[in-house]
């Protein structure tokens, strides 16, 4: 069953509803960044050198992988007091960055993302390990699917630099799907599942568990959708490998 209602769980005082995040698989909080902070963030992004291999630019998408590594001077702006408070509450003061990506879906983008789970992590090298695999190499970075127990400890923060609605590619999610292990999109039982559109205001953040099934539509209203996607974990990896983007933000 598809339900196109938008859900935006704003929590006053920048306190995230952790129970909602853990049980339903997503939540959102508005007002994390003000207009001045957003303009400063966008100014640094616009001045970045786009010739590096971690930058991808096309008519439908501009993306920067390893975002916080590529533009290190932006970290202080991203981790303002409001975001630090949220992340510390969710991660109980133990979480650190494990991946960061900037997405710019232009006004006339036809870029569509089908339903999927975020099943891989980024690491520094390929090593044969029990319960880790399959492996891929993408944008000069090693990725591997780890055990589910590790993925269940992770969470994602999506920082919205524009108002995001159903018309310019807001994420669609299937609540509670993160509790079902590996859930293949082709096996979604639409007679039982509910689809929710996650609209977020400019300067707000969406919080999600990586195992929740999520998707996004093409842009239809001629408005940009720029998002900074940051993944966090408190999990230590086997000694043979390391997080490729591990970063402490405090």
Please report the pLDDT score of residue 14 as a whole number: 57
Paired with 103 in beta bridges are: 63, 227
CA nearest neighbour of 16 among 208, 225, 234? 208
What pTM does this model have? 0.90
Mean pLDDT, range 102-115, rounded to an integer:
78
223 band by pLDDT with thresholds 50, 70 and 90 = confident
Q: Which residue has the higher pLDDT, 107 or 124?
A: 124
**Which residue would you say has higher pLDDT here, 79 or 224?**
79
Mean pLDDT of 191-212: 96
C-alpha 222 chain-centroid distance: 23
pLDDT digit string (tens) for 14-48?
557 899 999 999 999 999 999 999 999 999 998 98
If one compares 61 and 214, the residue with the highest pLDDT of the two is 214
User: Which stretch, 19-33, 50-64, 127-141, has highest mean pLDDT?
Assistant: 19-33
pLDDT for 9 equals 38
Tokens 């196109």, residue located: 4
Please return the burial class of 18, using the count of CB atoms within 10 Å of its CB with bins 0-12, 13-18 and 19+. middle
For residue 2, what pLDDT band results from cuts at 50, 70 and 90? very low
Residues 181, 211: Cα–Cα separation, whole Å: 7
What pLDDT score does 57 carry?
Answer: 66
Rounded to 10 degrees, the C-alpha dihedral 73/71/21/114 comes to 160
Rg (CA), the chain: 17
- What does the alpha-carbon distance between residue 236 and residue 247 come to, in Å, rounded to a whole number? 13
What pLDDT sits at residue 199?
Answer: 96
Give the tens place of pLDDT for each residue, 139-158: 678 999 999 999 999 999 99
Do the Cβ atoms of 75 and 96 come closer than 8 Å?
A: no
Q: pLDDT category, 58, cuts 50, 70, 90?
A: low
The counts of H helices and E strands in the chain are 6, 15
Domain ranges of the chain: 2-233
| CATH number belonging to the domain at 2-233, selected among 1.10.10.10, 3.90.550.10, 2.60.120.620, 3.10.290.10 | 2.60.120.620
Helices (H), ranges, 107-215: 148-151
Give residue 210's pLDDT.
97
Residues 6 or more apart in contact with residue 123 via CB below 8 angstroms? 142, 143, 144, 237, 241, 242, 243, 244
Mean pLDDT (whole number) for 90-103:
96
pLDDT for 42: 96
């Amino acid at each position: 069953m598809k339900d196109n209602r938008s859900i935006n769980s704003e929590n006053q005082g920048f306190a995230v509803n952790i129970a909602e995040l853990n049980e339903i698989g997503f939540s959102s909080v508005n007002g994390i960044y003000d207009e001045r902070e957003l303009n400063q963030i966008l100014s640094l992004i616009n001045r970045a050198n786009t010739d590096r291999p971690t930058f991808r630019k096309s008519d439908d998408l501009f993306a920067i992988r390893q975002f916080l590594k590529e533009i290190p001077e932006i970290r202080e702006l991203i981790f303002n007091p409001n975001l630090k408070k949220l992340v510390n509450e969710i991660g109980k003061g133990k979480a650190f960055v494990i991946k960061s990506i900037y997405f710019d879906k232009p006004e006339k983008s036809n870029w569509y993302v089908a339903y999927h789970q975020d099943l891989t992590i980024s690491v520094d090298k390929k090593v044969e390990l029990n319960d880790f695999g399959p492996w891929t190499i993408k944008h000069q970075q090693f990725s591997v699917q780890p055990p589910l127990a590790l993925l269940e400890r992770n969470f994602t923060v999506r920082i919205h630099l524009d108002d995001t609605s159903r018309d310019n590619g807001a994420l669609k999610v299937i609540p509670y799907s993160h509790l079902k292990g590996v859930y293949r999109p082709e096996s979604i039982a639409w007679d039982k599942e509910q689809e929710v559109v996650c609209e977020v205001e400019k300067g707000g953040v969406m919080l999600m568990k990586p195992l929740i099934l999520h998707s996004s539509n093409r842009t239809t209203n001629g408005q940009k959708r720029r998002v900074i996607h940051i993944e966090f974990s408190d999990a230590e990896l086997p000694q043979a490998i390391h997080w490729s983007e591990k970063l402490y933000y405090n």
